[in-house]
A and B are shown apart, each in its own frame.
Chain A
Amino acid sequence: MSQVLVRDISVLMKVLLGRYPSQSAVVELSSRSIEDNFSIILTSSEFVKNVVRPVSEKKPFVHINKNLEFSRTEISGLLDKLSLKETNKRLNEIKGWQELFVSLILSEEALGLLEKANIPQTRRKVYFDYREQFVAAAAREAAVISSRRAVEQEVKLPVLPSPVTAKPPVVQADKAPTVSVPPEPAKGAEVKVEGSVAEKVPKVEPRAEDKKIPGEKGQVESIRLINDSRRKVMQIEREFLGLIKTLAKVDRANFEKIIGSKEKADSFDREIGNQLNAIKDQLSKSKQILEDNKVPIEVGSLYETTKGLIDVLSFDYPETPYYARLRRAFAGLPSYSVLMQVYNTLTQVDNRRLAQLPLATDDLVSVIMPVFNRPKLIKDAIASVLAQSYANFELIICDDASTDDTVKVIQSFKDKRIRLVRQEKQAGAAAARNKALQASRGNFIAYLDSDNIWHPRFIELMLECLKRSPGNLAAYAGYFDLAMNGTGAATLKKADLKQFHLEDQLEVPFVDLNSFLHSRRLYDTFGGFDERLERRQDYDLISRYCWIREPLALPHVLNIYQRLEAEEQITRTQKSNVDSPKLISSKIASYYEAGLPASIPPWVKKVTVLSWDMSRNHFAKAYCVAEALSKHLEVELISFRFFEEEVFKPLADVKPRFETKYFAGGEFPEFFDNFAKCVEAITGDIIYVVKPRLTSLGIGLLSNYHTGKPLMLECNDLETVVGSAKAKDAHAGKALDDVFDVMGQAKVPHDIIWSQVLDPVVDQLPVVYTHNVNLNIHYRNRCLYMRNIKNDALYDPAIYNRDAVRSELGFKPEDRVILFGGLVRKHKGIFELIGLLEKLNDPRYKLLVVGSRETPDLKKINEQHANNVVILPPQPPERMAAINLASDLVVLWFDPKIPAGLYQSPYKMSDALAMGPAIIASPTSDLGEFARRELVWSAPFGDSDKLVATIKRVLDDAPELERRRKRARAFFQREFSYKSVFPAFALGASALQKDKVYDVSEKFAKFFSNFEAAYRNK
């Protein structure tokens, strides 16, 4: 688009400066600052007076007088004396000319004219946009000035209200109001106010319907201002047309002479004619659109409201450049979605928090800003940081060996929160950012490049967001992509905001580093920027930081990225660099295949994994975590045997390659012996406790109490409801001392009372893992994720032969095998599946049930449905993998009325994600979100018709099956494979202190001391 603009202007240039007809000259003119110069020339005599004249001796070389006529002789006269090149050179030497330019174009007159000059390049609604914004600007300006004057005169005057915000006018009743006439700069926006001593309030002339409430007077007045402004617009419009006509009426003979040939002059004429026609067309089209759409330019429209808000904010909060830039960006009409984003943010954030302080926290936020030769842009970037509402930050700017005034500009800011670090040799943005990171001290880190501008509440909002959900360690907001061409015309190109799924981000990135804020723990664990990358270092960093735990999406657009044509923000060499993308994709491939590299604190050499019991299936998770961690660290797995099975069956024959310490279970008081022995047996540097049970968490707490060894707790069920599958089994948390009321129950270490008293303890532990959104919510959003992981060496579709496994199991190629794995219990939807087969009424559908233990439910099924149901005994892990591969579909149907199901993340799901059968699930817990992410399909629980329809639809859509299979596999590799364990563990470890006894451990120890005494004293 900007190219069109350049061409248009260059055509005008040709006409104006007819002596430069050659193509190369035109290119030269249009490609650099000439177009800027032209705008200035065109728009401001101020510029000529202040800038050009001192440079070019006496006279301006072109200048528009009040009648918008310009002197041809003046132009050629001047140009004869000063070559264009020289003019450019001189202009560039004048410091601050760009700033001047900016301020000039922001004056209404300039703004209006510039907008007109832009008409050919804008698309739909341009006319509306132009006029709209001008009216608003003019009216706003007028009203602001009026009210300011009124305040000065201590008279209440109508303030231009935005429909959303209205600053209360200052009233001093004891002083007589005086009549005030709006000042000249309001450009015809006349404000007439009458008042009398008797009334002591200003009086306006409202329309009849606006007389009701005094507060509305301002609005009435503003409408009048706007109407006046409209008249002014019409006038300027006429003048503009006059300008164009003048352009067209250049003295023909003279022109031919200058241009050197008639043909050339004719061709220019034609071009001019075309351009003019285009402008006219555009104008009338725009008018037509305006009419057709019946878009009223009135107070209250979304655009108007938004613009009004921006005006107020940019007036009231001049310390941040954000609003001013946004205001300017509104010169180019944003798309509807962008407009909505701006409106939402302004109304839901800015307007709700006007002048409010942010929540105070101790958190220091380090803002990382690399810079190389950006003396102009960086000012705004720095100012936007200094204007942050959240004041507890350090801004670390790393100068990458700038060769211009950049460092001076930085040093001109005297804020103590700014720290400048400098590279001796230019080493690139990644190295500069790393250097700044190394110097940083904050426990949160944000990034702002020198060509970006933050919303003044960026840090505040992001921190708030992370504090509400401390288990997520990063957050991102949306950003505006603001394109500014040479004339300063700005367009908000997009405001990107998407819900997160890493595979989507990897495909088409939508998280921008400048609107990303994260915990220092991510840096500690996953390192800084990859200095080998010339570009897309941010993409690489974000992919690592979001790999194991997704960031929070803050639904506001809080950062403006400025694309400036004049600045080479990404250099050509960077653009053409193909090594970086290659390196990044090989890195990402390796994360999937070998796991994300992570570092842990040096004092962590050994981990103790504590599982409350080893006889039942809950042992599997602890075992898997221990096994996965044992590739990276020394591991010991400690557990008790409370039930008849020696060890959970599928693991009975597995020889662990890590240390195990198993103790006999029992009942108190005899069990105290082994309880104490277990506390003593712990030798890990970190204790990874699986489930908040007495013989896991209780042991962990006592160990922490004695040794200060840090704890991590994994909650993979709501233990208070998991034991039974009835709707009435609601969760209940109890106080520790409630144990003394039920000593009979409490002698059994795995009695529910222990789960009930330990559940509230979870809140007070530093690191909690879960694998399920509802558990995360139950534990106040504090959890990291440790999914229901699987050994990816076994759960690898490549190592099995699907057809062979199917035929082994007795299925025909055309069969559609629905798999039900895991413990057969009523709440897991098994009976619904049986009923389903009948409904599907298609012999191809087979139900394959792989049970874990003999339950009454399983028995019943076995007896009743021998024909189309195949039942297998519990299978070892590698066999389960093959069975999943051989299956076509897994149905995960959870009754939302049964609490137990709402807090689980079934192994069946992990298996299926890994091995490829389609998953149809009721939108329960994570499965709702997984459907949104297009990993699984959803069908509501209990509606078998919809389920039948979904099954058919899914299994008939082979391409979509394949797409989701790939997506699910990637997701599995990232979050559900053994490889995901160590980075997740490392992330947890980064929050732990080496030697610290938790308050809750002390509390528990006191309680347990009393519990032990209760037996001793008997």
Chain B
Amino acid sequence: MVKIAIKNPAPLGQNLEKWGDYHFALSLAQCFEKRGAQVVQHFWPEWDRDDGEDVILVLRGKRNYIPPKNKTSIMWVISHPATVFADEMRAYHRVYVASENHYRMIRNDPSINVDVARQCTDTSIFRPGGGATERRGISFVANSRGVRRDILAWALEAGTNVSVVGRHWKSVGLQRHVVKDYITNTELPAFYGSTRLTLNDHWGDMYYYGYVNNRIFDCLACGTPILTDYFPELKSICGDRLLYARDKDSFAESIKRYYLAYPDVLDNAASLWRDIGPNYSFDARAEQILDWIKSQRWTKHPTSPTQGANESSPQFSKMLEKAISLVRERGISREIQMLHLFPDKENVDTLFRNSELSYLSAGFGKGPWHIFLDDTMSALADRNLDFILVDDSQLANGLNASALLSILESARKKIAPKGVIVVPAGLNAVIESKKKLSDGYFII
């Protein structure tokens, strides 16, 4: 009997169960166990524990990890794909990415043993909900994190009444639509099962890499129709049986269908799940992973990866330390709401893993970051960010002075009263009022 240790990014402590990763791993473990495997869970930060397991399965989200060489190791990238780099992947016997798109980006690297394992749902919990007459209203289960999300903006613009479940909507002025701040995982199936339609969107990086989020599969398992943002991989899986919105006009078109042809919309959701459901359950994933494990000889190990992959420069780390202490000195005690503008690949991982930061990345247009920006950063709540870091990326350097100034002007509106904006010295030339933070970085 194989013994698997799941490295679970959910941190030990009182918030453990609030992490989606916690429930994700729990469901997965059950499916392994059903198939005769033994499973132990190692929650963050206890990832270095060894319970005599044969296989390490790292759920790669917020935390990166280099597995010990003496174990068979598997990495499953389920979110934040932009923070995972080739070196890290090479340290594993097997890498699963959650999109075909991501898979294609790396499949040609012979040192990475990669396959696709998309997000999925626990079909023992998420089960078909009520019929058309028992379902009410349009819902959106999401935390704002200070970002005005397009799908909700389109809905409100169209006059569609949406019940939002989630936190931090006050900062973007949408608290009146919030019916509940938080919903537990166990309440979620009943909630989806009683809702007529759920709005759905993806963070930019997911969208960029073609990662379909688990909300889609959770809802479909409950028979709940979804009106979601659009990207090709999603369409390739769900076809026309979801409602899509690329902008406010297509949103209006979809909502029209919802009102006029809901029986059809509901049927579509059900038939879609009938067709794809069997492939999007934890059972299917457990089966897939165990199949691979069984095919391995336990002695074969990958080459040792570079330790400390994706380390940012000491200069950057120092700046980060100073910036955080400055924010703390100014009296901000919460988890620091941080925006990483024009993220530099080298620095992303350091910022992302810092436990004092609530990390969001942003750039213009579509890229491997969370938020797609326009000139005025309209997607972001005003006066909400504690720390904006303008990175020294190619992109920032490529902007002309006036464009950069106008961006910084917008950034000023987004920063909280006691927050800081940090720019690298490279932008020195265009910025006048500034003061040195550390070597190579200024505060404006």
Q: Which A residue's beta carbon lies closest to that of B134?
A: A997
- Other-chain residue from B132, B134, B160, B261 in contact with A1013 (beta carbon distance below 8 A): B261
Q: Which B residue's beta carbon lies closest to that of A999?
A: B133
Number of chain B residues whose Cβ lies closer than 8 Å to a Cβ of chain A: 19
Q: Does A149 contact B (CB under 8 A)?
A: no
B264 touches A1013 (CB 8 A): yes
Instruction: Identify which of B102-110, B252-260, B363-371, B413-421 touches chain A.
Output: B252-260
B contact residues around A706 at 8 Å (CB): 196, 259, 262
Contact with A along B239-280 (1 / 0, CB 8 A): 000000000000000011101111110000000000000000
A676-B255, A680-B159, A681-B159 are known contacts. Are A1012 and B136 too (CB-CB below 8 A)?
no
Q: Which A residue's beta carbon lies closest to that of B158?
A: A680
Instruction: Identify which of A557-565, A800-808, A981-989, A1000-1008 touches chain B.
Output: A1000-1008
Interface size bucket, A side? 20 to 34
Contact with B along A53-66 (1 / 0, CB 8 A): 00000000000000
A676 touches B196 (CB 8 A): no
A672-B256, A676-B255, A706-B259 are known contacts. Are A997 and B264 too (CB-CB below 8 A)?
no
A1005-B262, A1008-B261, A1009-B264 are known contacts. Are A676 and B132 too (CB-CB below 8 A)?
no
The CA-CA distance from A932 to B398 in the complex, in Å, is 93
Q: Does A568 contact B (CB under 8 A)?
A: no
- For window 142-197 of B, CB contacts with A under 8 Å fall at 158-161, 196
A680-B160, A705-B262 are known contacts. Are A995 and B256 too (CB-CB below 8 A)?
no
A1002 touches B133 (CB 8 A): yes
A1005 touches B132 (CB 8 A): yes
A675 touches B260 (CB 8 A): yes
A contact residues around B255 at 8 Å (CB): 676, 680
Q: Does A195 contact B (CB under 8 A)?
A: no
The CA-CA distance from A705 to B266 in the complex, in Å, is 13
The CA-CA distance from A680 to B157 in the complex, in Å, is 13
* Chain B proximity of A407: nearest CB distance (Å): 49
A702 touches B260 (CB 8 A): yes
* Chain A proximity of B53: nearest CB distance (Å): 51
* Chain A proximity of B137: nearest CB distance (Å): 8
The CA-CA distance from A902 to B262 in the complex, in Å, is 39
B256 touches A673 (CB 8 A): yes
A708 touches B259 (CB 8 A): no
B contact residues around A1013 at 8 Å (CB): 261, 264
* Chain B proximity of A1013: nearest CB distance (Å): 6
Q: Does A707 contact B (CB under 8 A)?
A: yes
Contact with B along A670-692 (1 / 0, CB 8 A): 00110111011100000000000
The CA-CA distance from A705 to B133 in the complex, in Å, is 7
The CA-CA distance from A246 to B302 in the complex, in Å, is 138
A contact residues around B136 at 8 Å (CB): 707-708, 995
The listed residue with most A CB atoms (<10 A of its CB), out of B158, B160, B259, is: B259
The CA-CA distance from A997 to B263 in the complex, in Å, is 14
Q: Is the interface of B mostly helix, strand, loop or mixed?
A: loop
- Other-chain residue from B133, B160, B256, B257 in contact with A997 (beta carbon distance below 8 A): B133
A contact residues around B132 at 8 Å (CB): 705, 997, 1002, 1005
The CA-CA distance from A679 to B256 in the complex, in Å, is 9
The CA-CA distance from A702 to B257 in the complex, in Å, is 12
- For window 694-734 of A, CB contacts with B under 8 Å fall at 702, 705-708
The listed residue with most B CB atoms (<10 A of its CB), out of A676, A705, A1001, is: A676
* Chain B proximity of A993: nearest CB distance (Å): 12
The CA-CA distance from A672 to B256 in the complex, in Å, is 8
B contact residues around A681 at 8 Å (CB): 159
* Chain A proximity of B330: nearest CB distance (Å): 45
Q: Is the interface of A mostly helix, strand, loop or mixed?
A: helix
B contact residues around A707 at 8 Å (CB): 136-137
The CA-CA distance from A672 to B255 in the complex, in Å, is 12
A contact residues around B196 at 8 Å (CB): 706
Q: Which A residue's beta carbon lies closest to that of B137?
A: A707
B contact residues around A1006 at 8 Å (CB): 263
Contact with A along B277-299 (1 / 0, CB 8 A): 00000000000000000000000
Q: Which B residue's beta carbon lies closest to that of A681?
A: B159
A contact residues around B161 at 8 Å (CB): 680
B contact residues around A995 at 8 Å (CB): 136
A1005 touches B256 (CB 8 A): no
B contact residues around A1005 at 8 Å (CB): 132, 262-263
The CA-CA distance from A1001 to B196 in the complex, in Å, is 15
The CA-CA distance from A657 to B264 in the complex, in Å, is 40
The CA-CA distance from A80 to B412 in the complex, in Å, is 119
A676 touches B262 (CB 8 A): no
The CA-CA distance from A708 to B137 in the complex, in Å, is 10
* Chain B proximity of A711: nearest CB distance (Å): 14
Q: Which A residue's beta carbon lies closest to that of B133?
A: A997
The CA-CA distance from A1008 to B259 in the complex, in Å, is 10
Q: Which A residue's beta carbon lies closest to that of B266?
A: A1009
Q: Which A residue's beta carbon lies closest to that of B131?
A: A1002
Q: Which B residue's beta carbon lies closest to that of A683?
A: B161
* Chain B proximity of A367: nearest CB distance (Å): 36
- Other-chain residue from A997, A1001, A1012 in contact with B260 (beta carbon distance below 8 A): A1012
Q: Which B residue's beta carbon lies closest to that of A704?
A: B133
Contact with B along A865-877 (1 / 0, CB 8 A): 0000000000000
The CA-CA distance from A1006 to B131 in the complex, in Å, is 13
B contact residues around A672 at 8 Å (CB): 256, 260
The CA-CA distance from A957 to B208 in the complex, in Å, is 91
A680 touches B260 (CB 8 A): no
- Other-chain residue from B159, B259, B264 in contact with A702 (beta carbon distance below 8 A): B259
B159 touches A1009 (CB 8 A): no
Contact with B along A968-1002 (1 / 0, CB 8 A): 00000000000000000000000000010100011
* Chain A proximity of B200: nearest CB distance (Å): 19
- For window 118-138 of B, CB contacts with A under 8 Å fall at 132-134, 136-137
A679 touches B261 (CB 8 A): no
The CA-CA distance from A1006 to B263 in the complex, in Å, is 6
* Chain A proximity of B99: nearest CB distance (Å): 30
* Chain A proximity of B313: nearest CB distance (Å): 54
The CA-CA distance from A1005 to B158 in the complex, in Å, is 22
* Chain A proximity of B277: nearest CB distance (Å): 23
Q: Which B residue's beta carbon lies closest to that of A1005?
A: B263
The CA-CA distance from A702 to B258 in the complex, in Å, is 11
The listed residue with most A CB atoms (<10 A of its CB), out of B159, B196, B261, is: B261
Q: Which A residue's beta carbon lies closest to that of B160?
A: A680
B263 touches A676 (CB 8 A): no
A contact residues around B264 at 8 Å (CB): 1009-1010, 1012-1013
The CA-CA distance from A794 to B120 in the complex, in Å, is 67
* Chain A proximity of B395: nearest CB distance (Å): 41
* Chain B proximity of A396: nearest CB distance (Å): 36
A contact residues around B137 at 8 Å (CB): 707
A1008 touches B260 (CB 8 A): yes
The CA-CA distance from A680 to B162 in the complex, in Å, is 12
B contact residues around A705 at 8 Å (CB): 132-133, 262
Q: Which A residue's beta carbon lies closest to that of B196?
A: A706
A1009 touches B259 (CB 8 A): no
The CA-CA distance from A677 to B256 in the complex, in Å, is 7
- Other-chain residue from A675, A677, A708, A1009 in contact with B262 (beta carbon distance below 8 A): A1009
* Chain A proximity of B441: nearest CB distance (Å): 50
The CA-CA distance from A791 to B255 in the complex, in Å, is 40
Q: Which A residue's beta carbon lies closest to that of B267?
A: A1009
Can you list the 5 inter-chain pairs with the closest CB atoms, starting with the nearest? Answer: A997-B133, A1009-B261, A676-B256, A676-B259, A1009-B263
Interface residues of B (CB under 8 A from A): 132-134, 136-137, 158-161, 196, 255-257, 259-264
A-B pairs with beta carbons under 8 Å apart, 18 shown: A672-B260, A673-B256, A676-B260, A680-B160, A680-B255, A702-B259, A702-B260, A705-B132, A705-B262, A995-B136, A997-B132, A1002-B133, A1005-B262, A1008-B260, A1009-B260, A1012-B257, A1012-B260, A1012-B264
| Given A680-B259, A707-B136, A1009-B260: 13 more A-B contacts, CB < 8 Å | A673-B256, A675-B260, A677-B159, A679-B260, A680-B158, A680-B159, A680-B161, A706-B196, A707-B137, A1001-B133, A1002-B133, A1012-B257, A1012-B264
